[in-house]
Amino acid sequence: MPTSVSVIIAAKDSADTIVRAITSALNQPEVIQVIVVDDGSKDTTAQVARDADDGSGRVEVMSLGKNHGPAYARNRALEVCRGQLAAILDADDFLLPGRFTRLLPHADWDMIADNIAFVPTGYDAPLEIKGTDDAHPLSLEDFVLGNLTRDDMHRGELGFLKPVIRLAFLKAHKLSYNEGLRLGEDYDLYARMLAAGGRFKTTRTLGYGAVVRPNSLSGQHRTEDLRRLADADHDLLALPLSAPERQAIALHETQTRNRYRHRHYLDLKRDKGAVATVMALLGDPVSWLPVVSGVLRDKLSSPPAPPANSDVRYLFPLPEA
């Protein structure tokens, strides 16, 4: 059973959060390497990261001359991983104690992920780690469907999973992050691994803490990022897939491309005015329904209330004690 883990942290302007992230990784006995990729920070992220080493020499810092995005940064880290396994950790998130000790003994996986606690900025109360539970396989179809937005539920969030990844599988199938993506790069990699025959397992046991910030990259994506993610789905559809897998990915592509069309015309209205927007829409009938539906949804929906400092939600329901 592989037990050596390289933790990868892509960081930009994260000097105020990087120490907790690094420390949570160094406290895991299976971690032999923490690779911090400073992705064009304008603050002291790189130096703070170097100073966070615990004397073991396990912290390695790579500095990029300019910002390239998390996909590019993670690929540079993957090239120098010395562990048998890689684990992604965002620069303002943290690992719970004993995370890898609980995850790695499960059998028959190329990716394995646990439950995530989403906590508001500044939350510092301890998180309770529930007892171990079984790891269940996650298919490509179910993974993609778990990233769809549905009227009767919150936006699908399985793309937020932070699995431990078997590096030998990535190398055998020549897989890495799509560096053209700044949104959904995790979703895209996991989907391509699953399409290549990767075994993805998940457990409901809590192991990862994600800090919810209003200025996160996923909350500030550009309109162009949506188009690129839809194009990535289109590329996925060129792979050998079952009919249910193909249908799920096609739904995700349609939903993402419709979000792009809505945002594109909002941008056009902002930049060119309402008359130019209407004229452009008249020549683009495929966008009529997504734009009108998006406008109505924006007008009829209420903005979510800001979370209280004590609010914590979980990706999966916590297992019973």
Q: With cut-offs at 50, 70 and 90, classify the pLDDT of residue 167.
A: very high
- Is 307's pLDDT higher than 60? no
**pLDDT tens, position by position, 107-140:** 999 999 999 999 998 888 889 887 567 899 999 9
| CA dist., res. 290 & res. 286, Å (int) | 8
Q: With cut-offs at 50, 70 and 90, classify the pLDDT of residue 282.
A: confident
The structure's pTM equals 0.92
Q: With cut-offs at 50, 70 and 90, classify the pLDDT of residue 305.
A: low
- Is 280's pLDDT higher than 90? no
- Is 185's pLDDT higher than 60? yes
Choose among 30, 12, 18: nearest CA to 211: 18
- Is 36's pLDDT higher than 70? yes
Give the position of tokens 């839809």. Answer: 230
Q: Is 162 left (phi over 0), alpha (psi -120 to 50) or beta?
A: beta
Give the position of tokens 């188009």. Answer: 227
Q: Is 31 left (phi over 0), alpha (psi -120 to 50) or beta?
A: beta
> Residue 153 burial (CB < 10 Å; 0-12/13-18/19+)?
exposed
- Greatest CA separation found in the chain? 64
pLDDT in the model for residue 152: 47
Highest mean pLDDT among 113-122, 229-238, 300-309: 229-238
187 neighbors 111 (Cβ within 8 angstroms) = no
- Is 237's pLDDT higher than 50? yes
pLDDT in the model for residue 128: 85
How many residues would you count in the chain? 321
Give the position of tokens 């399985």. Answer: 158
Lowest pLDDT segment from 108-117, 123-132, 179-188, 255-264: 123-132
- Is 2's pLDDT higher than 80? no
Under DSSP, is residue 84 helix (H, G, I), strand (E, B) or coil? coil
Highest mean pLDDT among 45-59, 140-154, 297-311: 45-59
